[in-house]
Amino acid sequence: MDVNIESSWKQALEPEFSKPYFTALAERLHAEKNAGITIYPPGRLIFRAFELCPLDSLKAVILGQDPYHGPGQAMGLSFSVPDGVPAPPSLRNIFKEIEDDLGVKMSGRTNLEPWARQGVLLLNSVLTVRASQAASHSRIGWQTFTDAVIRTVSERCDGVVFMLWGNFARSKAALIDKSRHSILEAAHPSPLAGGAFFGCRHFSKANAILESEGKTPIVWEL
């Protein structure tokens, strides 16, 4: 199957695109679209995280679970919404932790593309969702694909910082070669976690790790 995805990822993930699960996944999405079902994000943005962060420039991975299911929110990057869209609760808490951790003031921008362009793969485990139906595509094959993405990063890259927030993301640690990469684990930034995310200092820790690897740190301030 010919998948429109950034070239370095296309070469690395080519075996996945010919597997039966991926064919079934694509057919499911086409069928729902043809039936008039609204799917987020728009088709051109499904692989946006890969487009902005080629495999050979990858420094860090922030793993989300499911795209936002409200209109105008999902943009193919975990936790990110377009500028001008109010920050969802988890994103507000991420920004608060950055301010406390780094002693900076966030601008109010909500689009995380600047992080992606610096080498942060903002990867959701599930890449699409039906409008207004959270987790509606969680069992159609996306997790098989994104697990393959995580394994690919683990096998082909070195010194990547994986930032795993919440039990779901932390369960993916088993896919990562800990002798080659660093894993930072914390509670989910959702308010449902009761503030347990605060104080994790993952942003300064990630930069310290990157600098120890001889890599340019991420400018987290937006």
Of the residues 66, 83, 100, 177, which is catalytic? 66
Report the b/e string of 116-145 with b at 16+ CB within 10 A: bebbbbbbbbbbbbeeeeeebbeebbbbeb
Give the list of residues 6+ apart from residue 72 with CB closer than 8 angstroms, or none.
81, 82, 85
Q: Is 66 a catalytic residue?
A: yes
CA distance 83 to 76: 14
What is the Cβ-side half-sphere exposure of residue 209, based on CA atoms within 13 angstroms?
19
What is the Cβ-side half-sphere exposure of residue 214, based on CA atoms within 13 angstroms?
1
CA distance 176 to 115: 22
> Which residues are designated catalytic?
66
